[in-house]
Amino acid sequence: MMNLNRRLIAAGFIACAVCLPGFELKADKMSGFQFSFDGFDGNPLPLNRFRDRVVLVVNTASECGYTGQYAGLEKLWQDYKGKGLTVVGVPSNNFGGQEPLKGEQIKHFCTLNYGVTFPLADRTDVVGRTAHPFYKWAIEQAGEKARPRWNFHKILMGRNGDITSTFATAVEPTSTEVRAAIDKALGAGS
């Protein structure tokens, strides 16, 4: 009877975990590739689509003083996508209400103003109680440096889905610091 109760409790836990938005249950160790965002187009944007690539996840906003960093992110994407980097933009309205757009509006804004072609999520909470599970996991993995303090905070994941670096908002995407971290992550698994 005790084993049956344990199995029922475990089955209930698994059923609840599978229902969490943004969470995918996998047998292997937890990595950034376990998570999925809602895409700007309403379709899922699973990070496991980029498995074995280096992934730069950036929370973005269209009405921020740092919005011009979209151009730098697109430059990184163009420079490195053939070498194994994927840039993923995660628009967020958590800081100063600076992302009023949703869905296709986000893609239209980014394409029209910055020529963005890299993958974009729909508007997503990145901090607080309602933060997307990816961001909660990132803090568990890399500590407070993984917690966005403002728009355009950057989290770099290696090919294995582990966090290799984080960059504060003010660090430009095309900076020597970001490029060196990308080069190192690309070289570690080539």
The amino acid at residue 108 is H
Q: Number of C-alpha atoms within 13 angstroms, CB side, residue 135?
A: 21
Torsion of the alpha carbons at 183, 136, 90 and 175, rounded to the nearest 10: -30
Tell me whether residue 110 is one of the annotated catalytic residues.
Answer: no
User: Could you give the CA distance from residue 173 to residue 179 in angstroms, rounded to a whole number?
Assistant: 8
Query: Annotated catalytic residue: which of 16, 19, 64, 110?
Result: 64
- Which helix (H) or strand (E) segment holds residue 14: the answer is helix 2-19
- Per-residue DSSP letters for 106-158? HHHHHHHHH---S-BBPS---SSTT--HHHHHHHHHHGGGGS-SSTT-EEEE-
User: Could you give the CA distance from residue 186 to residue 151 in angstroms, rounded to a whole number?
Assistant: 25
* Active-site annotation, residues: 64
